[in-house]
């Protein structure tokens, strides 16, 4: 006789929903937006079908559309014209910066949205690195004041939460202090805590044209600051430091290949855990679905649910809008 039969609790949707352990809602999702200067521009990222680079006017329309789907959290990334790039990313905190103006416009028109920024030099750097490149190395401590200026400018522009994605040591504390001194004590910091030197960022770098540049004095990859994909213990060290330095969220990036890291951070810290389901992860699934090999309407929610199950409170994903539509239409 089989006394214990787990299948009993799967016998109807009503029962299954009663014992469901993990829930996914649009509330958990953040939608990335790529913006570029100009008017009436909407160009698809070839390696990320369905995702567009948009000029500010179209970004405002996009935000409005997403709000109708109950999606109200956005992380915004700028694609910067080559002529504004330099060694020290000065355009990142310039009063003329269209990205900062856009943030102000979004918050003015839609004060209810949560707007997250990107703090890193790569969109603005002629070297295509997240930090200052000097004599062939990415200089940690000389990068910090640049990040702090960028962060303060973003807080002033109206971003609710800042997202340092650069992986310099000590930057969370440095940025926190700079914000507090300028009176931005309520602006949050979502630390890219365990950001791995992953091959999955390709479509993103295509979208922003932000890959490391070729040159004798430019490191060809980001391995001296992003984490080694082989390491998990080290993520705890990074998390401890970011927590001590005042981070409001700890992020793991990418997500699917690093579910164990999400879980270990969730188990060990009280701070909310964010996971960045990055461009390459989405591209892989989209490619398989385009071929008819996988069903997008099933795989997309299953993928996001897996990231939630591992322990992510927040998921940054290019699928956010599709998920929000699915919830509304029930498809
Ligand atoms: C860089 C940054 C990257 C992403 C977010 N911020 C790329 C990189 O580190 O080279 C990648 C996100 C994605 O692939 O979706 N500051």
For 190-208, what is the mean pLDDT?
Answer: 94
Q: Of all atoms in ligand 1, which is nearest to the CA of residue 203?
A: 14
Helix (H, G, I), strand (E, B) or coil at 161: strand
For 262-281, what is the mean pLDDT?
Answer: 98
Centre of ligand 1 from the C-alpha of residue 138, in Å: 17
The pick from 219, 278, 279 for probing ligand 1's pocket by mutation, whose C-beta has the most ligand atoms within 8 angstroms, reads 278
Closest of 265, 307, 252 to residue 285, by C-alpha: 307
Which tens digit of pLDDT belongs to each residue from 106-150? Answer: 999 999 999 999 999 999 999 999 999 999 999 999 999 999 999
Which tens digit of pLDDT belongs to each residue from 313-330? Answer: 999 999 999 999 999 998
Residue 210 has what pLDDT? Answer: 80
Closest of 289, 292, 278 to residue 30, by C-alpha: 278
Q: How far apart are CA 173 and CA 170, in angstroms?
A: 6
Residue 299 has what pLDDT? Answer: 98
Residue 212 DSSP symbol: P
Q: How far apart are CA 322 and CA 299, in angstroms?
A: 12
Backbone angles phi, psi at 252, to 5 degrees: -110, 140
Q: Judge whether residue 206 has pLDDT over 90.
A: no
**Which residues are tagged catalytic?**
195, 253
Closest of 63, 47, 68 to residue 116, by C-alpha: 63
Which tens digit of pLDDT belongs to each residue from 233-262? Answer: 999 999 999 999 999 999 999 999 999 999
Q: What is the separation, in whole angstroms, between the first and last Cα of the chain? A: 41
Task: Report how far Cα 209 is from the mean position of its chain's Cα atoms.
Answer: 17
Percent of the chain's residues with pLDDT above 70: 100
Look at strands 132-134 and 42-44 and give their pairing: unpaired
Residue 207 has what pLDDT? Answer: 86
Q: Judge whether residue 164 has pLDDT over 90.
A: yes
Residue 68 has what pLDDT? Answer: 98
Helix (H, G, I), strand (E, B) or coil at 34: strand
Residue 9 has what pLDDT? Answer: 97
**Residue 156 pLDDT grade (very low, low, confident, very high; cuts 50, 70, 90):** very high
Return the H-helix or E-strand segment holding 42.
strand 42-44
Domain ranges of the chain: 22-329
Residue 212 has what pLDDT? Answer: 86
pTM for this entry: 0.96
Q: Judge whether residue 3 has pLDDT over 80.
A: yes
CATH number of 22-329: 3.20.20.70
Q: Assess whether the C-beta atom of 257 lies below 6 angstroms from ligand 1.
A: no
Which residue has the CA at smallest separation from atom 8 of ligand 1?
A: 201
**Residue 305 pLDDT grade (very low, low, confident, very high; cuts 50, 70, 90):** very high
**Mean pLDDT lowest among 52-56, 63-67, 214-218:** 214-218
Q: Assess whether the C-beta atom of 282 lies below 6 angstroms from ligand 1.
A: no
Q: Judge whether residue 331 has pLDDT over 80.
A: no
Q: Assess whether the C-beta atom of 198 lies below 6 angstroms from ligand 1.
A: no
For 20-47, what is the mean pLDDT?
Answer: 97
78: which strand partners?
Answer: 35
Q: Assess whether the C-beta atom of 130 lies below 6 angstroms from ligand 1.
A: yes
Look over the chain and give the mean of its residue pLDDT values, rounded to a whole number. 96
Evaluate whether 188 touches 199 at the Cβ level (below 8 Å): no
């Amino acid at each position: 006789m089989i006394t214990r039969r787990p299948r009993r609790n799967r016998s109807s949707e009503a029962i299954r929903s009663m014992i469901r352990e993990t829930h996914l809602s649009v509330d958990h999702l953040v939608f990335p937006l790529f913006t570029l200067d100009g008017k009436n521009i909407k160009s698809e990222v070839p390696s990320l079908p369905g995702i567009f680079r948009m000029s500010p006017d179209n970004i405002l329309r996009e935000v409005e559309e997403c709000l109708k789907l109950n999606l109200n959290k956005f992380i915004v990334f700028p694609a910067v014209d080559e002529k504004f790039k330099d060694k020290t990313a000065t355009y990142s905190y310039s009063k003329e910066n269209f990205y900062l103006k856009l943030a102000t416009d979004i918050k003015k028109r839609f004060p209810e949205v949560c707007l997250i920024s990107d703090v890193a030099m790569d969109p603005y750097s002629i070297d295509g690195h997240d930090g200052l490149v000097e004599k062939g190395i990415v200089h940690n401590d000389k990068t910090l004041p640049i990040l702090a200026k960028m962060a303060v400018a973003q807080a002033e522009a109206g971003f609710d939460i800042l997202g340092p994605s650069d992986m310099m040591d000590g930057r969370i504390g440095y940025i926190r202090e700079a914000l507090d001194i300028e009176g931005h004590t309520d602006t949050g910091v979502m630390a890219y805590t365990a950001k791995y030197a992953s091959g999955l960022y390709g479509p993103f770098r295509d979208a922003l044209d932000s890959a490391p540049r070729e040159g004798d004095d430019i490191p060809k990859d980001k391995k001296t600051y992003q984490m080694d994909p082989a390491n998990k213990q080290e993520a705890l060290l990074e998390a401890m430091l970011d927590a001590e330095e005042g981070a409001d969220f700890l992020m793991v990036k990418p997500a699917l290949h690093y579910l164990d890291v999400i879980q270990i951070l969730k188990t060990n810290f009280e701070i909310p855990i964010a996971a960045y389901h990055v461009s390459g992860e989405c591209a892989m699934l989209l490619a398989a679905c385009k071929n008819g090999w996988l069903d997008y309407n099933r795989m997309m929610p299953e993928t996001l649910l897996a990231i939630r199950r591992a322990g992510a409170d927040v998921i940054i994903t290019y699928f956010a809008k599709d998920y929000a539509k699915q919830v509304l239409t029930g498809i």
